[in-house]
Amino acid sequence: MKQFVCEPCGYIYDPALGDPDNGIKPGTPFEDLPDDWVCPICFLGKDVFVEAND
This model's pTM is above 0.85: yes
What pLDDT sits at residue 28? 98
Asked if 24 and 16 count as a contact pair (C-beta separation under 8 A), the reply is no
Q: What is the pLDDT of residues 13-37, one digit of tens each?
A: 999 999 999 999 999 999 999 999 9
What pLDDT sits at residue 54? 66
What pLDDT sits at residue 1? 87
